[in-house]
Every structure is written in C-alpha cells, then in structure tokens.
Amino acid sequence: MTVGELSSESVRTRLAREGLALRIPPITVRLRSPLGFLADQVRTLYHDYEFADSAAYADIDIRMLAGAGARRWTRRQVQFVVDGVTPFEPFPVEHALPMFEWGLNWVVSHRLHGHLLLHCAVAARNGRALLLPAWPGSGKSTLSAALACSGWRLLSDEYGVVALDDARLLPFVRPVALKNESIEVMRAFAPDAFIGPLFPKTRKGTVAHLRPPQDSVRRAGEAAVAGAIVFPDFQHGEPTSVKRVPASPAFLKLAGNAFNYEVVGEPAFRAVAALVRNCGAWVLRYGDLASARAALDDIMHQSSP
C-alpha cells in the first residue's frame, strides 16, 4: 500500500501517533510529527512510496516537533530530532519539510557506511547509470530532474550509493530539491511534472521539491551498472561543451565528491577505481537544459558497450 492511498486524515493521525514508516530503499525512515500541514506535504510528495507496518523496524527514526521556549509564542519553530538527538538549531515552522529533507540527507551521510556515498545525482537508462558528481550550484539536481522527466529512471538527485562489492549504483529515490531559478526552469521544461509548494527565504533561498516519477519509485530496488561519469558545470548563458577527463584526474574528482571515502577506506578506493576503470568521464559545461540533455544522450551513446 502506498502513502497516496491513505486519506489525508489517516496520514495526519499516523504521523501524530505511531509515525509513518516510509520505505525509501535501501532504508526505512519513520517520521513522526504533530504538524498537520507537514503530514499533507509528505502525503503529496511521497504519494507513490510504500510504507511499513507501524511495528516494523525502521533504520532511522525522525521527529519533527514544535520548538519549545518563549519564541514559540512569537515566531513558531520546528525542531529536527533523530533517535532522540537534536543535531541542528530549530528552523521556522513553515520550513519543516525542507528541514526534514536536509536532515535526512545529513543522517544518511553520517550513517550509511556500508556503501560508498558520492555527492552525486544518478539517472539510468536501459540498466546503465549516468553519474553526475558535483557540489551545490553545479546543476546536478536540475539535470537529474530533467532526465527523470524525459524517460530516464531517477536513482537520486543527491546520493550516488555505490555497492562496495561490485560498484553497482543503488537507488535512493527521493523528491528532487530544486532551488531558486531552477524551479521555474523545470516548470517550463516539464510542465506536467508535479512540483510541491515553494519555501521562500530558507537557508538556501527559495526551495521546492519535484515528485519523482512513479516508475522510478516503483523500481527503487533495482540497481544499475555505471555507464558514464559526467561532472556538470552550469554557466548561465554559456554554450554547451563536453571535454573528456583522463582516468587519473577523474579518480581524484570522483573520490573528492564522496561523503565517506575516508571512513570506508580501502573498499572505497576499490569502488572508485572500478567506476573510473569501467566507464569514461567527461566535464559538461552547459547553459540550458535542452542542449545539456542532448549532450548527455550523446555521451551515453558513446559509452555503450
């Protein structure tokens, strides 16, 4: 049963009481909160996700609670609590959903050390994955959203989850976080895509979330073999250009985009080496989504076995 098959009232009740255990392979996340508007937003964005029984084990337990103290009467706040720990300062209560998404990212990057975690968007086609490693501002989330709305399977807009034994890419499908100008860019590029509410004046500017395509959520248990590594570099107004990256600098760039390379150690070295050895690497400089998508199609065609 999926979240969207529950009524709004049922989702609100579950969050306020036993919690809603979202299945987001490779983990299950239990979310609890008394905030009714957050329950409605979660129901909308996680519409196609399955949920576990209330008694089922959850890898991560998150509570989004109304802030305490005197400020709760003048400026309402929300507190992120994970397994009884509060790692962040409170956010304005209207930013509860972005805080949940960012907080979950933080928890995953600090705990999921059974895999190599790349700061990387990933999309797949015909069983082969395209890795888009980049730090914020390079356009990886917007590119992955555009690919997801163009027939590709979204694996993640934030994490390249790499299996340490065979370097396959494991999906971690979540709503795609769009920021500032990229929101309207995606509305124009994919007018039928579902984009949730705008959250202005967050710590990252205005944020909205694109709901993943239903097929990507349904296939969230299917790993993919790496097909190409592309380092995106968005430059407003610049023509699209593609440059091949030799293996040695590609290794350094990819390892430098990992969250837990030093923690995982030698298995991380082997996984990055396998990725670079098995598929080519490029830098893609682009100024618009249409030309970038065409360039990525061409790169994946070139890298076909």
Give tens-digit pLDDT for 211-258.
Answer: 999 999 999 999 999 999 999 998 888 899 999 999 999 999 999 999
pTM, to two decimals: 0.93
Phi, psi of 27, rounded to the nearest 5 degrees: -130, 165
Tokens of 266: 């030698």
Residue type, 237: G
Instruction: State residue 71's pLDDT score.
Output: 55
Instruction: State residue 238's pLDDT score.
Output: 85
Phi, psi of 270, rounded to the nearest 5 degrees: -65, -40
How many Cβ atoms sit within 10 Å of the Cβ of residue 255?
20
- The 10s digit of each residue's pLDDT in 66-107 is 876 545 556 789 999 999 999 999 999 999 999 999 999 999
Instruction: State residue 55's pLDDT score.
Output: 87
How many Cβ atoms sit within 10 Å of the Cβ of residue 53?
8
* Contact present, 242 and 303 (Cβ < 8 Å): no
Which residues, 6+ apart, have CB-to-CB distance to 202 below 8 Å? 91, 95, 98
Residue 291 in this model has a pLDDT that exceeds 60: yes
- The 10s digit of each residue's pLDDT in 120-170 is 999 999 999 999 998 777 889 999 999 999 999 999 999 999 999 999 999
Q: Which residues in 10-146 belong to E strands, given as ranges?
A: 20-24, 27-32, 51-52, 60-66, 77-82, 91-92, 116-125, 128-133
Task: Please work out, in degrees rounded to the nearest 5, the angle formed at the alpha carbon of residue 62 by the alpha carbons of 111 and 196.
Answer: 105
Instruction: State residue 143's pLDDT score.
Output: 94
How many Cβ atoms sit within 10 Å of the Cβ of residue 158?
24
